[in-house]
Amino acid sequence: MRAVLYFLPLFRQLRGPLLLSLGLSAVTLAAGIGLLGISGWFLTAAALSIAGSAFNLFGPSAGVRGLSFVRILSRYGEKLTGHNATLKLLSDLRRWLFERLFRIVPLGRRFGRADLVSRLIADLDALDTIFLIALGPIGTAAIVGIAMTVLLAFMLPAAAPIYALGFVLAVLAVPAVLITASRRPGAEAAASSASLRQAVLDGIDGHADFTIFDSLDRVALGATNAATRLAAARRRLGLLGSLASAVVQLLAGGILVGTLLAGLAALRAGTIDGPVLVGILLAIMASFEASAALVRSATRLAGSAAAAERLITIAEAPAEVAEPHTPVALPAGGDIRFEHVRFAYPGGLPVLTDLSFAVPTGSCVAIKGPSGSGKSTIAQMLVRLADPTSGAVRLNGVDLRTVSTTELRQRVALMTQDAPVFSDSVRNNLLIGRPNATDADLWQVLETVRLADTIRALPGALDAVLGEAGRSLSAGQARRIGLVRTLLSPASIIVLDEPTSGLDAEAEAAFLADLPGLSAGRTLLVITHAAVPPGFDRVHPLRGGHLLG
């Protein structure tokens, strides 16, 4: 529960709608209790009065109908306000999570893709419905239990302590024990779900290789084992929920028997009549609708607690780079210098060793090397996705560790080797680079990278939807979309990390040949494994983490 309480500030922002939903839920349950109680009293009194004087049917009938309408309207209002608040909470939770994810990019070093998907989808979903399935029912049950105890204290005082004790056990003790007992299987279910997603994603991504190397059985076995663990955890949760439901029903039966005995004694003493006793007994039965829902809520609350713990892991993860306490302003220009830079991941071998080079303002320089030589680490350092283990990276003479990352990333634009093309229009894909760019600006850069004719030929031109991962374009055209987005940036330094990734040799050569003419006075640093064509001011070969010349 401590993990769930961590998110109370987000719930507090929506306390108005949540309290309204809680109030309407209590009204709904109270109307149901009143409806059943009045109906029991009405039918019993009517049956006993057949041989006597005429019984007034109009008052109780109106009460039954009125409570029915109240119950319908309050139930509708409860669903409307509760689900609306839940959707707002989901939006707040996503914003909260993404704010923390941005601090710790690149994420691949900390979380697997399937694990990250689980946190972004399953864990958030487990939290966003926590009010509807747990906190709301708990609050409603508490309100109704107190109200019923007060009512019994006036109408049947001997039954009030019996009801209060039984209801506290059913509403508080049983769910508390269930939450404690469900914590381990709830955590196992969350972990197994993430493992199953990972196994499925691995199987999809690597299907061709697994088929070639005859390893499909091993992959299937991994997925089966994860599914088996998930099923076992959910069975344990189901069994615990069933046992708790049985205990709640036994408590409800005990309360009814105790109330009946107290009521019979009061009936013999003449302090209560038969129809009222029947109405009280039926009202007590109706009040246990809240306690029955709590068993389901407690099981889900255990899963929500496990999800909350996984999300807190993200929230409390240290930032990949530390913001300076007193940021230094960057001077104008685009002069890059690496001075005796060494870099190694924690517990790993050095990636860069005593790396020193310079890229003057306005020049077009390439760093060429094979995979694993440290090229991408250079690009990440230039936008402070990583900091040197020793040495310094300077921009216009200023150590990047003393510069605000916000200002730095306004001055340095990075196109990564997996720069995505989103399932959106051409225009919206490009405006990521410069949100205030006009259509004329977009066409100008499209012309520069020789993509304008291709876009004009699409239905809708700039309004054409490119499809997921840019499937309506060739690989080379998709890479140029990423290049246009980067060139639209007002940054004075453009860094392209493996911009020809996934292209064939001919498209690769054409793409690289165009780059020196695209910088337009800005500093351009191209990191590539490919042969670098003429036109670059300098090419630095990189091997084993250091430059060869």
Q: Are residues 458 and 414 in the same domain?
A: yes
Record the tokens describing residue 447, joined without a space. Answer: 């012309």
Same domain flag for 215 and 351: no
The DSSP bridge partners found for residue 398 are 395
Digit-coded pLDDT (tens) for 75-110:
888 888 888 887 887 788 788 877 777 776 666 566
CA distances from 135 to 19, 30, 321, 428 (A): 11, 18, 38, 40
User: Tokens 């520069």 correspond to what residue?
Assistant: 448
Q: What confidence score (pLDDT) does residue 303 get?
A: 66
Asked, for residue 327, whether it belongs to a domain, the answer is no
Determine, yes or no, domain membership for 320. Answer: no
Residue 331 inside a domain? The answer is no
Q: Above 50 in pLDDT, residue 296?
A: yes
Q: Which two tokens stand for residue 382?
A: 């230039």
pLDDT at 425 over 60: yes
Q: Would you say residue 463 lies in a domain?
A: yes
Instruction: Provide the token pair at 429.
Output: 């894909």
Are 215 and 280 found together in one domain? yes
Instruction: Kindly report the average pLDDT of the chain as a whole number.
Output: 80
The structure tokens listed for 313 are 């892991």
Segment 167-188 shows an average pLDDT of 82
Angle between helices 58-103 and 274-315 (to 10 degrees): 10
Checking if the pLDDT of 255 tops 50, the result is: yes
pLDDT band of residue 111 (cuts 50, 70, 90) is low
Q: Which of 248, 280, 315 is the last residue of a domain?
A: 315
Please check whether residues 468 and 536 belong to one and the same domain.
Answer: yes
Q: Are residues 132 and 212 in the same domain?
A: yes
* Residue 324, domain member (yes or no): no
* Average pLDDT of the residues in 497-518: 77
* Separation of alpha carbons 244 and 437, rounded Å: 61
Residue 325 lies in a domain: no
Together in a domain, 257 and 304 = yes
Q: Which domain holds residue 472?
A: 336-547
Residue 52: per-residue pLDDT: 45
pLDDT reported for residue 240: 86
Same domain, 310 and 370: no
Name the residue among 121, 100, 83 with its Cα closest to residue 197. 121
Q: Which amino acid is at 223?
A: A
Asked whether the predicted pLDDT for residue 267 surpasses 70, the reply is yes
Residue 213 and residue 78 share a domain: yes
Please give the tally of structural domains in the chain: 2
Sign, CA dihedral 318-324-326-329, equals: negative
Q: Could you report the per-residue pLDDT of 61-79, keeping only the tens digit for each?
A: 777 788 888 888 988 888 8
- Establish if 294 belongs to a structural domain: yes
Residue percentage of the chain with pLDDT more than 90: 1
173/277 same-domain check:
yes
State the CATH number of the domain containing residue 371. 3.40.50.300
Decide if pLDDT at 55 tops 60: no
**Would you say residue 321 lies in a domain?**
no
Res 51: pLDDT: 46
* 466 & 407 share domain: yes
Question: What contacts 347, CB < 8 A, 6 or more positions away?
Answer: none
Give yes or no for a contact between 53 and 7, defined as CB atoms under 8 angstroms apart. Answer: no
Co-location of 166 and 40 in the same domain: yes
Q: In this structure, what CATH number is given to the domain that contains residue 16?
A: 1.20.1560.10
pLDDT digits (tens, 9 = 90+) for 28-43: 888 888 888 888 887 8
Dihedral sign (CA 399, 404, 409, 414): positive
Mean pLDDT over 124-152 rounds to: 76
pTM value? 0.62
- Lowest-pLDDT range of 46-55, 290-299, 334-343, 500-509: 46-55
**Percent residues over pLDDT 70 in the chain:** 86
> Which tokens is 397 given?
């003479």
Pair 296, 344 in one domain: no
More confident residue, 309 or 284: 284
